[in-house]
Structure 1
Amino acid sequence: MTNPLRIDIVSDVMCPWCIIGYRQLSQALDAAGTDYEIRWHPFELNPEMPPEGQNTREHISEKYGSTPEQSEQARKHMQALADDLGFDFQWTEDSRMHNTFNTHQLLHWADLKGRKHDLKLALFTAHFTDQRNLSDDAVLADVAGEIGLDRAEAAAVLDDQRFANDVRSAEHFWQQQGISGVPAIVFDQKHLVTGAQGVDNYTSILSQLAEMKG
């Protein structure tokens, strides 16, 4: 019996391309019937983001120099891709970017419970579809509780920051591997693919990996 294909995904729940890329990959994996194991890893798009977050359009304008028209065009493009993948972006004029250091700490805790994947996907939905405030620890604890994790324990984890050093260490590890943008997907601990590549490209990658395994 062959080992499942290990897929390491470095990402941030603030990144729309991360959920698009994951959905594309998931579709390709399902079609290929590949036996796989996904491991999520932390990356902060905006480690200097203040606790209260920032309006998304304002942030994109400051960070990338995008005009409101370019920002709107990008949103429509991503929405069209997401619609085809069964994911719903619900941006508004009040949509905000958030500091995700606590989000990653909660995900680290969920990993110890065997629920990191479930929480990761729930957080993508909370942020992009439901426009919930992931800067608020109470909201993060609520999301954990909603998928069946212990809400009180989740709140305690965020309150005492017990996994802060673990998250910093993991972030540093991936930075040392040269990861400077997300999504970054590593197949079989050897093959790095960056960005949302599309279902067809992921299908091709999976096929090549299968051939290499023989």
Structure 2
Amino acid sequence: MEIDFVFDTACPWCYIGKRRLRLALEARNGLKPLMRWRPFLLSPDMPLSGMDRRAYVERKFGGPRRAARILEAAQASAEQVGLVLNFDRITRTPNTIDSHRLVRLGETPAQREALLERVFAAYFVEGCDIGDKDELARIGAAEGLDPDRVAAHLASFDDIADIIAENARVHAIGMSGVPGFIFNSRYAIAGAQETNIFLRLVDLALETQVPEPVTNP
């Protein structure tokens, strides 16, 4: 099975949706599909230095009261799957291109997933600025990457055009928000669905995927 996970690193529902998907896979005897990590830019015009977090969420959600309600809902949903979101620790909303570039530096799907998990935790749990290149180098080192290599990569323009192009492609197929999940390039769903919904999609993908041909030795 193949699963494309479309995400932005500053999206709390992507963190929650990823965890719910993992719980669904564990419920199916630890099914280990080929995961592909597809970047999405929720704020493509975000300044490279990011912006004040409070100003961002109040503008995005239409004022402090509505922002507070929405963030409280995300916190409650996160707690149900064992995650803690410390929104009060976040002071900057980042430009996320560099954090996507870091994830792409992973040499295997497993390492890319570990980098993504570490980025999510750094931002939503620790309140780190994941738009800061030094912080990203630290995160990369924690997952086995050479921090000098990470720093050199982020100082270059490598991968930027690819991430922007990937963002355009997922918009072109009709995905206007994240998280998004595509099973076997055939079944797609958006949003941090409940685990039982993911279970249904996993089962559907398993039932309908074409088996590999058997060849004689």
* TM-score normalised by length of structure 1: 0.90
Amino acid at match of 2:115: L
Cα distance change of structure 1 residues 114 and 35 upon mapping to structure 2, 3 Å threshold: closer
Structure 1 residue 148 displacement after superposition: 1.2
Structure 1: distance between partners of 2:89 and 2:56: 12
Structure 1: distance between partners of 2:96 and 2:188: 24
Preserved contact between residue 7 and residue 189 of structure 1 (Cα < 8 Å): yes
SS at match of 1:110: coil
Cα distance change of structure 1 residues 138 and 35 upon mapping to structure 2, 3 Å threshold: closer
Cα RMSD (Å): 1.9
Q: Deviations 1:44-78 (Å, cap 9, x if unpaired)?
A: 1111111222233321222232x322222222221
Structure 1 residue 37 displacement after superposition: 1.7
User: Does structure 1 residue 59 correspond to structure 2 residue 56?
Assistant: yes
SS at match of 2:87: coil
Q: Quick check: 199-208 or 113-122, which moved more? A: 113-122
Structure 2: distance between partners of 1:167 and 1:69: 34
SS at match of 1:115: helix
Query: In structure 1, which of residues 169, 185, 210 is the aligned counterpart of residue 206 of structure 2?
Result: 210
- Alignment match, 1:166: 162
The runs of 5 or more residues in structure 2 that have no matched partner are 211-217
Structure 2: distance between partners of 1:63 and 1:23: 25
- Alignment match, 2:2: 6
Cα distance change of structure 1 residues 48 and 180 upon mapping to structure 2, 3 Å threshold: same
- Alignment match, 2:192: 196
Q: Deviations 1:185-204 (Å, cap 9, x if unpaired)?
A: 10010111000111111112
- Alignment match, 1:47: 44
Q: Quick check: 88-97 or 190-199, which moved more? A: 88-97
Structure 2: distance between partners of 1:158 and 1:137: 7
User: Does structure 1 residue 147 correspond to structure 2 residue 119?
Assistant: no
SS at match of 2:36: strand
Query: In structure 1, which of residues 99, 105, 125 is the aligned counterpart of residue 101 of structure 2?
Result: 105
User: Does structure 1 residue 72 correspond to structure 2 residue 68?
Assistant: yes
The runs of 5 or more residues in structure 1 that have no matched partner are none
